Amino acid sequence: AKQGGNSRFQFYVASIDQEIRERKQLEKDLSKAQANREFHLVYQPQINLENRRVIGAEALIRWEHPVRGLVPPDDFIPVAEVNGSIVEIGQWVLDQACWQAAQWAADGMPLRIAINLSAVQLRRDTIVDDILDTLERHSVPANRLELEVTETSFMTNLEDAVEKLHRLHQAGISIAVDDFGTGYSSLTYLKRMPVQHLKIDKQFIRDLLVNEDDTRIANTIIDLGRSLNLSVVAEGVETAEQEYYLTQRGCKLAQGYFFSKPLLPDDFETFVAGFHQK
């Protein structure tokens, strides 16, 4: 028995060991990814449900690893947040998205671009200036940019987050609370934060018409948005039934595979032109 336990223990240690090695390798590859130009952005259209116009796009990062292929952001963003490389990656995202916004504006398509801002980025002392400088460098008006922040961003230092988001908002940038309802949801911060949008997480939209709890949660967020004068964005809309339900329930904005997957810039332009012709 002792023998068996021992070997099982060794097996366990070996698998942890391998996990650590894989993680180290991922970090190492991640540190070279930017210099090797392995990142790119895709853009998912955000739709105004009332008039069926594309009002903007959410920029989402993609990492094309030379060996592993496409690595999902959910696999590497958390790693980048722990080792701090999210700061550099996030600045690259901001820069790239602003460059794209300027391109689209020059092409007669002045859309708003939303980017995901990590809690780690928001904690930086220079973040407000970094964002404003980037907009200026690309001559993008601040109201063309939206920042998606999660509830975790408010947890570590509420005062600090309030102060920074106020400065960003005063400059004209809009703020959305991402994954609303999944984390630390408190009405206190909603009152104090200069936020304009709530994004209903896709986990509540997936079974919207099947699971009563999800229907109630979505309804509650829509009503909360209305009473606090915040516009609500439903994320992960995949079916016509979901769109119909959300529209008649008073949700004004949506994104999801039903309209479009996140797209490369050229495909995004084609999508917008086609969508507006319908």
Q: Which is nearer to Ca ion, 27 or 258 (by Cβ)?
A: 258
Structure tokens at 88: 């550099």
- Residue 179 touches Ca ion, criterion: CB under 5 A: yes
- Residue 146 touches Ca ion, criterion: CB under 5 A: no
Contact 45, 57 (CB under 8 A): yes
Structure tokens at 205: 């939209």
Q: Which is nearer to Ca ion, 29 or 154 (by Cβ)?
A: 154
Dist CA 219 CA 6 (whole Å):
54
- Residue 130 touches ligand C2E, criterion: CB under 6 A: no
Contact letters (x/-) for ligand C2E, 184-223, by CB under 6 A? ------------------x---------------------
Instruction: Give the length of the chain.
Output: 278
Sign (positive or negative) of CA dihedral 160, 163, 167, 169: positive
- Residue 201 touches Ca ion, criterion: CB under 5 A: yes
**Site size with ligand C2E, rule: CB under 6 A:** 21
User: Which residue stretch of 79-87, 111-119, 167-175, 250-258 sits at the interface with Ca ion (rule: CB under 5 A)?
Assistant: 111-119
Provide the H-helix boundaries in 140-237: 152-155, 158-170, 187-192, 202-206, 212-228
- Residue 151 touches Ca ion, criterion: CB under 5 A: no
CB atoms within 10 A of CB 44: 22
Which residues are at the interface with ligand C2E (CB under 6 A)? Answer: 44, 60-61, 72-74, 77, 90, 93, 116, 118, 178-179, 202, 235-238, 256-257, 262
